[in-house]
Chain A
């Protein structure tokens, strides 16, 4: 061997360089292979998930309706100073495009869009359009102005035109501002919305409050159970674990329907309490806040227990024994020695439950009253009941932002590679 090295002395360097190049080439090939394997899911996620979410974000600031219906008028109005009535040319354009969009059926969407900012505008536009389409087209611009003002005197007022000008740009902050109970005044400054219109901040606060209460209850109930699971003799622990995992795996509709049967007016709890004579009137346990708390806690508790359990399982018992043998009272030892060691699990469980509850829809929708609905309900409402996609998207964008921030915090706290399920 030694001999061979000596013989090949001069070419050793070359050989090692050659080897390095080959190594690098094979590593590059491996990287390519790895990328090829990851690519299908990555592209699938990009197309079927990231694109839709981006689409939703865009929808929260998009406002194409007015431009679609009145392209030329919009362009002209964006140049207009909005200090006095627009020129007769703009009136002429408006008359022409109202007639056109009425025929094309694009008018109603624009009317709906302007109506968000100025209630009553839809009926103004539709009535005007109906009247204009009956008569013949005006011949001169001045005639058009007179005709428009004749159909409704509002067309001779400045605010009418200002509203159209405000809704004409292709992008708007209206939906996002409304989601935060804000609006732009005539000068373009951002001010608080009138009190009777400002409902969303309250809904966000309610969502956060319900999530907080649910998470706290989960923590208080989950801590003793997780401790029991982590410290019980293994022959019991496995059986107890099934008690946590079975609800975890059971369909949440099954669990929600169970709670309806248990809690409803002539349900199991009221029946039990009445039969033992504790109450005369049935208790109202459903379609109110306590009902929502019970339902949500039942669904999220397993997540809390499992988060706490995974940390508690790894805490050695020696620290507690040491504290006790040094004379600490068991209660003191528990709070000063044991609890601090569980904090990573507490933080992870807390955030997990909180993130999951702020986005919850099914359970509050089925067992809550209108006063218990969380933000998700309103997103669904704006999408499926009243078709206001801009509002649904804006509320969704804010919820997404909140969840993402919380999740980044969660990932920091519980090293991402350790996320486990069940």
Chain B
């Protein structure tokens, strides 16, 4: 903003203060994440500046260690399976909710989004008891089901939001042109709501990929996920190897963020908003 002659000194000071405070808070948010990234390239295990030299040894350690790679594999496996389940169920439910009005709709919606709201420790405790009776504790299936239920509300809400701007006449047009409901879903509805479905899926995947509380309760050593591995690492002794994983996860977050932003823009453009 350019200052005008009528702006007093106080005005200018206030303006700088205003930007200063805002940017200061922003730095508080972003700086801790960025400032530890260079340390992951350190040639030594000291976690402080100045660094003695650069090296990729910590990345090598992470990528060759059995513990980290199996944790990554578990996380990807459980995350994908949970995302698939959550995305299918969430998308169908969102379409159903927008298809017609029926009794108890609001109650059903509240119950279906409740996993997002209930504190994780409580979900974890309940699932632990439930899985104990079903024999699902310390199993892949158990963790996949748990993560699917935590991720499904995100899919439901995102797809629901996309459907708010959906023109039902397009489906009518498709039927009048002879498409059966199945074809009109695949050829008309899905392509239009796909950005919402993908964002919802990404939300669900991110939820699973970053989830540690439920994993602490119901997973066994066989299902050790990446966050679980990090949790133990931070608790015991924090090394540059953890920061190397952190850096990779931050890059992942950046990729996720860009994808979502791109999808959001595409959606806005397509709907002419």
> Chain A: residues with CB nearer than 8 A to chain B?
27, 30-31, 33-42, 44-46, 48-56, 59, 221-222, 224-225, 227-229, 240, 242-247, 249-262, 264, 266-268, 271, 298, 301-302, 330, 355, 358-362, 366, 376, 379-380, 383-384, 389, 392-393, 396, 399-400, 403-404, 407, 416, 419-422
Q: Which residue of A lies closest to B238 (CB)?
A: A260
A251 touches B129 (CB 8 A): no
| A368 nearest CB across to chain B (Å) | 12
Choose from A253, A256, A330, A379 the contact partner of B125 (Cβ within 8 Å). Answer: A379
Contacting pair A53 B119 (CB below 8 A): no
Q: In the complex, which residues 84-114 of chain B have their Cβ closer than 8 Å to any Cβ of chain A?
A: 89-90, 92-93, 95-97, 99-102, 108-112, 114
Partner of B119, one of A33, A55, A399, A420: A399
Task: Identify B111's interface contact among A34, A42, A393, A403, CB under 8 A.
Answer: A42
B149 at the A interface (CB under 8 A): yes
> Does B78 sit at the interface, judged by CB under 8 A?
no
Query: Count of B residues near A, CB < 8 Å?
Result: 88
Determine if A253 and B146 form an interchain contact, defined as CB atoms under 8 angstroms apart.
no
B211-240 vs A, Cβ < 8 Å mask (1 yes, 0 no)? 011001100000000010011011100100
Pick out which of these stretches binds chain A: B22-30, B53-61, B190-198: B22-30
Are the C-beta atoms of B129 and A55 separated by less than 8 Å?
yes
A298-B119 in contact given A261-B39, A383-B217, A392-B125 (Cβ < 8 Å):
no
CB closest residue in chain A, given B114? A49
**B49 at the binding interface (Cβ < 8 Å):** yes
Chain A facing B: main interface SS? helix
10 contacts between A and B (CB under 8 A): A37-B92, A44-B148, A50-B114, A225-B21, A253-B246, A258-B33, A258-B35, A355-B117, A379-B121, A421-B203
Q: Indicate if B177 sits at the interface (CB-CB under 8 A).
A: no
With beta carbons under 8 angstroms apart, the residue of A53, A247, A253 that contacts B29 is A247
A222 to B25, CA, bound (A): 8
Q: Hey, what's the 0/1 contact readout for B234-263 against A, CB within 8 Å counting as 1?
A: 110010001100100110011011001000
C-alpha spacing A268/B146, complex, angstroms = 38
When distances are taken between beta carbons in the complex, the residues of chain A under 8 Å from B97 are 34, 38
Q: Is B179 an interface residue (CB 8 A)?
A: no
Tell whether B161 is near chain A: CB-to-CB under 8 Å: yes
Interface centre among B18, B21, B129, B253 (most CB of A within 10 A): B129
Contacting B28 at CB < 8 Å: which of A49, A227, A228, A298? A298
Mark each residue of chain B from 126 to 161: 1 if its CB lies under 8 Å from any CB of chain A, else 0: 111110010000000000011011001010111001
B210 at the interface (CB under 8 A from A): yes
Check if B89 sits within 8 Å of A359, measured CB to CB. Answer: no
The answer to whether A362 touches B213 (Cβ under 8 A) is yes
CB of A42 within 8 A of CB of B93, answer yes
Cβ-defined contact, A55 with B126, below 8 A: yes
Contacts of B272 in A (CB 8 A): none
Assuming A34-B102, A242-B257, is B25 touching A224 (CB within 8 A)? yes
Contact assessment for B36 and A419 in the assembled complex, using a CB-CB cutoff below 8 Å = no
Rank and list the top 3 A-B pairs by shortest CB-CB distance, nearest first.
Answer: A359-B119, A37-B96, A52-B126
Besides A41-B89, A268-B49, A366-B231, 12 new A-B residue pairs in contact (Cβ under 8 A), listed by A number: A48-B130, A56-B125, A251-B210, A255-B33, A266-B46, A271-B49, A302-B29, A359-B122, A393-B125, A399-B122, A403-B119, A419-B157
